[in-house]
């Protein structure tokens, strides 16, 4: 199957009992057993057929062995982190999602699991940060809001050479464009709240693993700590995933046009987008991903100018989150990255006038006209 076909026909397929084209929502907590120990499902935290249909679908899309659905992206990340124990060390991309950074520095540290944040687009920095107690490399590519790109296959080789788990948060590019397991990752994580759901109506997280034993371990953790995704939300996600292909294609096309417009705008300074040939890792991204995605950032001269743009756009909604049908716009310095001290923030390249955009599915002409009047 090619990609769009797999989005529609992947996973379990049509319901076997009555042939329903849309998977039934098994809104249930427990199941009748035929006899003691004789059942296919016992209790819905352990397994629910609707959730399982989604889990099989995402495993299929990512080219993994098993998938797992959680109540949020953070619940998925936290379940993966439960693979580690006191004394372990993990090497992590330095500009990971803010919630991941907070989880690792304020929750994971309570178990004395040590994390080193490095620029994972620099392979030497990654190699130098590996210690005898290192157990994993954890990356995002591209990152937020500066769209830094790390080389998945090269990092997989580094992880393998030191017997480390290699974990990739694939939220930004989705399996439609990028399948890290096929490039050597062991675990893929999603905030399915974003592109996979795609309609700003569900919070969910997914995990896919490349091997059965790891799958048994994650299932043990999922059942044991219980952050499972509810049946109705599982159904919503599958509904969203069916159209992921057409959404990603259209978003890609809209984003390319907006990037081209911004690059040529006299009031715009830098434009961050992996699709630009001058992006430092453009070639790496082009090699490992079928598309450049719908996330971009650009700078204007000052915070005041940025606020003017944000206040004047009509079709770009001022909101956190990303990956929805609606175009969203935000000011990282005052929103997602407000908790980082200004000096450190500037060091990271997150200027006061940096605007982040998640391109949606409106007519691109309307989006361009909107930016034009707002920048004026």
The whole-angstrom separation of Cα 219 and Cα 351 is 42
Q: Phi and psi for 254 in degrees, rounded to 5?
A: -60, -45
Q: 92: which residues sit within 8 A by CB, 6+ positions away?
A: 100, 104, 115, 116, 117, 118, 120, 137, 138, 139
- The secondary structure of residue 228, as a DSSP letter, is B
| Residues in contact with ligand PLP, shown as a per-residue x/- string from 45 to 74 under the rule CB under 6 A | ---------------------------xxx
In this structure, what DSSP letter does residue 110 have? G
Distance CA 245, CA 26 (A): 27
* DSSP one-letter string for 164-178: -EEEEE-TTTHHHH-
Smaller CB distance to ligand PLP: residue 95 or 370? 95
Element (H, E) at 158: helix 152-161
Q: Does 360 bind ligand PLP (CB under 6 A)?
A: no
Pairing state between β 187-191 and 165-169: parallel
State which of residues 48, 150, 171, 178 lies at the interface with ligand PLP (CB under 6 A). 171
- Report, in Å, the least distance between residue 292 CB and ligand PLP: 16
What minimum distance in Å lies between the beta carbon of 354 and ligand PLP? 17
CB of 78 to ligand PLP, least distance (A): 9
251 touching ligand PLP, by CB under 6 A: no
CA distances from 98 to 16, 93, 117, 335, 351 (A): 42, 11, 13, 11, 16
Ordered strands of the 317-318 beta sheet: 271-272, 295-299, 354-358, 328-330, 317-318
| Alpha-carbon gap, residue 371 to 310, rounded angstroms | 10
Site mask for ligand PLP (CB under 6 A), range 131-170, x = bound: ---------x----------------------------x-
- Given a contact cutoff of 8 angstroms between Cβ atoms, the answer to whether 359 and 254 are in contact is yes
Q: What is the DSSP code (8-state) at residue 198?
A: -
Which listed residue (194, 247, 345, 356) is catalytic? Answer: 194
Which H or E run contains 137?
Answer: strand 134-140
| Residue that is written with structure tokens 């920048």 in the block | 375
Q: Which of 4, 45, 242, 257 is labelled catalytic?
A: 45
Please list every residue from 81 through 120 that binds ligand PLP, using CB under 6 A: 97, 99-100
Query: How far apart are CB 120 and ligand PLP at their closest, in Å?
Result: 14
Minimum distance between the CB of residue 55 and ligand PLP, rounded to whole angstroms?
Answer: 16
Residues numbered 203 to 222 that lie near ligand PLP (CB under 6 A) are 203, 205
Selected binder of ligand PLP within 48, 78, 121, 191 (CB under 6 A) = 191
Please check whether residue 20 is in contact with residue 14, taking contact to mean a CB–CB distance below 8 angstroms. Answer: yes
- What is the closest distance, in whole angstroms, from the C-beta atom of residue 96 to ligand PLP in the complex? 7
Q: Which residue number, 140 or 250, has a Cβ lying nearer to ligand PLP? A: 140
By CB under 6 A, is residue 336 in contact with ligand PLP? Answer: no
Least Cβ distance, residue 144 to ligand PLP (angstroms): 6
How many chain residues are in contact with ligand PLP, going by CB under 6 A? 14
Decide: is 263 part of the binding site for ligand PLP (CB under 6 A). no
Distance in Å from the first CA to the final CA of the chain: 47
Residue with Cβ nearer ligand PLP (84 or 97):
97
Identify whether 194 is a catalytic site residue: yes
Nearest residue to the partner ligand PLP, using Cβ: 73
Q: Is 293 in the site for ligand PLP (CB under 6 A)?
A: no
Closest contact distance (angstroms) between CB of 104 and ligand PLP is 12
Q: Which is nearer to ligand PLP, 193 or 255 (CB)?
A: 193
227 binds ligand PLP (CB under 6 A): no
* Helix H or strand E encompassing 256: helix 244-263
Q: What is the DSSP string of 276-311?
A: STTSTTHHHHHHH-S---SEEEEE-S-HHHHHHHHH
Catalytic position from the list 88, 151, 169, 352 = 169
Residue 193 is a binding residue for ligand PLP (CB under 6 A): yes
Residue 273 annotated as catalytic: no
Positions marked active-site: 45, 97, 169, 194
State the residues that interact with ligand PLP by CB under 6 A.
72-74, 97, 99-100, 140, 169, 171, 191, 193-194, 203, 205
């Amino acid at each position: 199957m090619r990609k769009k076909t797999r989005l529609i026909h992947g996973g379990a397929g049509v319901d076997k009992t009555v042939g329903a084209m849309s998977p039934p929502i098994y809104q249930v907590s427990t199941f009748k057993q035929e006899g003691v120990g004789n059942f296919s499902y016992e209790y819905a935290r352990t397994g629910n057929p609707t959730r399982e249909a989604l889990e099989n679908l995402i495993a299929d899309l990512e080219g993994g062995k098993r998938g797992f659905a959680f109540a949020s992206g953070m619940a998925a990340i936290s379940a993966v982190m439960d693979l580690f124990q006191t004394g372990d060390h993990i090497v992590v991309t330095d500009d990971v999602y803010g919630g991941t950074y907070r989880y690792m520095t304020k929750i994971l540290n309570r178990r004395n699991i040590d994390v080193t944040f490095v620029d994972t687009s620099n392979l030497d920095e990654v190699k130098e940060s590996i210690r005898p107690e290192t157990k994993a490399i954890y990356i995002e590519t591209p990152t937020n809001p500066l769209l830094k790109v790390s080389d998945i296959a090269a990092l997989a080789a580094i992880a393998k050479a030191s017997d480390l788990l290699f974990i990739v948060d694939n939220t930004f590019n989705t399996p439609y464009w990028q399948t890290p397991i096929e490039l050597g990752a062991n675990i893929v994580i999603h905030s399915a709240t974003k592109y996979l759901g795609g309609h700003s109506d569900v919070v969910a997280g997914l995990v896919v693993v490349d091997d059965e034993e790891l799958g048994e371990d994650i299932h043990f953790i999922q059942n044991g700590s219980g952050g499972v995704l509810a049946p109705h939300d599982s159904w919503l996600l599958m509904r969203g995933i069916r159209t992921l292909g057409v959404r990603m294609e259209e978003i890609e096309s809209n984003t390319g046009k907006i990037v081209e417009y911004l690059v040529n705008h006299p009031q715009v300074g830098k434009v961050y987008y992996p699709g630009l040939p001058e992006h430092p890792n453009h070639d790496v991204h082009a090699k490992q991903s079928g598309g450049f995605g719908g996330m971009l950032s650009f700078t204007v001269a000052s915070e005041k100018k940025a606020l003017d743009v944000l206040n004047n756009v009509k079709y770009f909604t001022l909101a956190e989150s990303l990956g929805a049908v609606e175009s969203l716009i935000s000011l990282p310095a005052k929103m997602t990255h407000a908790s980082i001290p200004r000096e450190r923030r500037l060091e990271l390249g997150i200027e006061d006038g940096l605007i982040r955009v998640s391109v949606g599915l409106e007519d691109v002409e309307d989006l361009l006209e909107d930016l034009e009047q707002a920048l004026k």
